[in-house]
Amino acid sequence: MPNRCLAHSVVFGLTCLFLHLAIPLAIRAQAWVPEKGSGTVTTIYQKVDVRYHFNAVGMKQDTGHIHSHNVTTAWEYGVTDKLAMDFDVTYVASKYQGTRPHGPPDTGFFHPTFQDVHFDLRYNVLTRPLVLTPFVGFSIPTHDYPVQGHSAVGKGFKEFLIGVNAGRRLDSMMPNTYFQVRYSFAMHKRFAGLNLNRTNVDWEIGWWANKSLTFRFIGNAQRTHGGFDFPEDIHDSEDFDIHDRVAKANFAQLGGGVTYSVNRLFDIHVAYAPAPIYARNAHGDRGIIIGFSWNFSRGLSLSRISSNTHQVGREWDRGPNPVARSTSQFRVE
C-alpha cells in the first residue's frame, strides 16, 4: 500500500511539473509488435509553443510566436504475432502572434482542422539477441489545407517511408531497462525542382520502475537532404511563399516522459522537451504531451479485467507498452 501511494504521488508531482515545461517527443514501442488480435488505441493531446525560428546557421530569430493545440488518435493492431499495423490521424489548431505574418492563416486566431493520415506496416524478423522490426509506411494529407504561413496546418505533401526499428533489454547493465531506436527514410515527389527526402532517427531508453511506472528518456534527430537554406536561398516572392514547405530543416531534440499503468487496460502518458539542442532552418518547438491508451486483446474480458485490476505488470518479452506517435507532429518543423 505505501508503494502504491508513493507511485501515485510521483505521477502527480511529475504531471504538475511537466505542465509547466514543454514539445512532445514520444516514441511508440516500434521494435516490439503486439500479439495477434491485440493492440492499443491511444489519444494524445499536445501543446506546442514556438518562440524562436532558427536560420541556416542556427541563429535564433524572434519573428513572432506560434501556439498549437493538437490531438492525435492512433491505433496499433497485431495482424499476426510478427506483423503489426499502425494508423494515426491528427487534428491541429494553431495561431500566430507577431508582426511578420507569412500567409492567410496568420490572423492571430486559431483555425482548427485535420492534418495528415499515417499508416505503417511493421514485421518482426528477429527477437534475439536484438529485436529487429523493419517497416514501410505512407503519409497523406486529409484534405487541401493551408500550407503557407507560420501557423499553416502542415506541409501538404504525400510521402513514402521505409525504415527499421531495433530494441533490446539492458538487464545486464541495469535491471528492468530497455532501449530502442528507429531509423526512417521519407521519400517525396520533387517539389519546385527540389529534393525534399529526409532521414529521421528516434531513440528511447526506458526504465520500468515498478509494475505501474515507466520512465523514458527520448529524443530524435532529422536531416533533410535538400531544400532551401534561409534566408540565403530566398531570391523572390515565389521562393518566400514556399520556404516553410521546402526548408532544409535539420535538428536534434531531447526530452523525457513517464507512463503510468492504471491497470491492464489503461495507461497514462506524460512527456516534455525544451527547445531543440540543435536546429537549422527550423522552428524552436517546445511543449508538453498528455496521452491515454486503451490496451485490448482477444480473450480479454471485462470480468477478467475487473478481477485482475492490480495485476498491471508488463510482459517484457513483448516490450513496453506504446506511447502513440505521429511522425510529422512530434518533430521540429
For residues 266-284, one letter each, b for 16 or more C-beta atoms within 10 angstroms of the residue's C-beta and e for the rest, the string is ebbbbbbbebbeebbbbbb
The span from the CA of 96 to the CA of 149, in Å, is: 9
Average pLDDT, the chain: 81
> Residue 238's pLDDT is what?
83
> Residue 326's pLDDT is what?
34
Instruction: Tell which wins on pLDDT, 236 or 144.
Output: 144
The secondary structure of 295-330 as a DSSP string is EE-TT--HHHHHHTTT-----GGG-PPP----TTTT
* Domains along the chain with CATH numbers: 2-318 (2.40.160.40)
The confidence band for 212, taking pLDDT boundaries of 50, 70 and 90, is very high
The span from the CA of 148 to the CA of 96, in Å, is: 12
What percentage of the chain carries pLDDT values higher than 90?
52
Q: Is the pLDDT of residue 28 over 50?
A: no
The pLDDT tens digits of the residues spanning 260-314 come to 999 989 999 999 988 889 999 888 788 889 999 999 986 544 333 333 333 333 3
The span from the CA of 329 to the CA of 333, in Å, is: 8
The span from the CA of 333 to the CA of 58, in Å, is: 14
| 116 contacts 333 by C-beta, under 8 angstroms | no
Mean pLDDT, range 18-29, rounded to an integer? 38
User: What are the residues facing 159 on neighbouring strands?
Assistant: 139, 188
| 74 contacts 46 by C-beta, under 8 angstroms | no
Mean pLDDT, range 85-104, rounded to an integer? 90
The pLDDT tens digits of the residues spanning 30-65 come to 899 999 999 999 999 999 888 888 888 888 888 889
The span from the CA of 232 to the CA of 281, in Å, is: 11
Closest CA to 200 of 185, 181, 215: 185
Of the ranges 158-172, 196-210, 273-287, which one carries the lowest mean pLDDT score?
Answer: 273-287
The span from the CA of 47 to the CA of 25, in Å, is: 12
pTM (predicted TM-score): 0.81
> Residue 282's pLDDT is what?
87
Q: Is the pLDDT of residue 27 over 60?
A: no
Of the ranges 110-124, 132-146, 306-320, which one carries the lowest mean pLDDT score?
Answer: 306-320
> Residue 299's pLDDT is what?
54
Mean pLDDT, range 18-41, rounded to an integer? 65
Mean pLDDT, range 165-192, rounded to an integer? 92
> Residue 283's pLDDT is what?
83
User: What are the residues facing 206 on neighbouring strands?
Assistant: 178, 216
Q: Is the pLDDT of residue 20 over 70?
A: no
The span from the CA of 310 to the CA of 123, in Å, is: 32
The pLDDT tens digits of the residues spanning 138-164 come to 999 999 999 988 888 999 999 999 999
